[in-house]
Amino acid sequence: MRTCFILFALTSTAWAQAPQPTEPATPSSETSEDADQSRARELYQNGQDLYDEGSYGPAIGAFQEAYRLSGRKALLFNIGNAQERQGELDAALSSFNEYRAFAPAEERESLSRRVSALQRRISERDAATAAAVPTLSPDAVPERPPIESVGRSPGRLMTPIGGAAAVAFGTVAAVTFAQGSKWEDEGNRDAWDTWRPVNNASVILAGTGAAVALTGLLLPKKKARAQARAAQFEQPLPVARQ
């Protein structure tokens, strides 16, 4: 795991031992590329220190920025190491696979083993995740029992409503009929003719209310008989004995 760190450190030493110009360098003579390489060495060292202390997330960021500035492919190995320690297995596999195209010949065999081990870990992780998620077949889903609406069946509503209508309109019919009979006895035919339609409508509505109330009383009994017949058909047939 420390192979790439050593390689990059040697490279940094090579940078430090490179021939220097005869004239002293001044800040204004430093090119942008030299500044990037210098900053990349600093970031690499920061990333190595963070990696050694177990701060893998920040180390990844330092290595990635050093790689962006320097373009040195060896840093891909450092990035993959830190990503694997961080638990970012898919990202580590991607970094190692990218580095394989540029790795020295003596590192390819060990790098291939590293990639194979990562692939096995990813497969085991995915299998464990899939096994942890329960899958219910349609047969395994329990059937919900029917919900009975207590107090809201049509029969239970029809009986009180129909009964109230029958009583109310029956009362109106009785009062108007009594008053009409009184007017008729007094010879006030015109007044009775005026209220006769009200009396007739009240009689009809009272009868309708009574019919609704009676229907509400009969519906539950009819439903109970139908359920009883259905239950009889659902019972298993007796087995004939030989």
* Contact yes or no for 136/158 (Cβ under 8 A): no
For residue 202, the Cα-to-chain-centroid distance in whole angstroms is: 59
191-215 in b/e form (b: 16+ CB < 10 A) is ebeebeeebeebbebbeebbebbee
Question: Where is average pLDDT lowest: 100-109, 131-140, 149-158?
Answer: 149-158
What is the distance between the alpha carbons of residues 112 and 83, in angstroms, rounded to a whole number? Answer: 17
* Contact yes or no for 92/83 (Cβ under 8 A): yes
- Overall average pLDDT of the 210-237 stretch: 65
- Overall average pLDDT of the 101-107 stretch: 92
- Overall average pLDDT of the 124-153 stretch: 68
- Overall average pLDDT of the 170-194 stretch: 74
Residue 198 — very low, low, confident or very high, per pLDDT cuts 50/70/90?
confident
**Which range has the top average pLDDT, 136-140, 190-194, 205-209?**
205-209
Per-residue pLDDT tens digits for 56-103: 999 999 999 999 999 999 999 999 999 999 999 999 999 999 999 999
- What's the pLDDT at 235? 53
- Within 10 angstroms of residue 38's Cβ, the number of other Cβ atoms is 14
Packing angle of the helix pair 56-70, 32-52 (nearest 10 deg): 160
Measured CA distances, 10 to 4, 13, 68, 115, 206 (Å): 10, 5, 19, 25, 108
- What's the pLDDT at 178? 79
- Name the pTM for this structure: 0.46
User: Tokens 């008053």 sit at which residue?
Assistant: 179
Q: What is the mean pLDDT of the chain?
A: 76
Residue 143 — very low, low, confident or very high, per pLDDT cuts 50/70/90?
low
What is the distance between the alpha carbons of residues 91 and 80, in angstroms, rounded to a whole number? Answer: 7
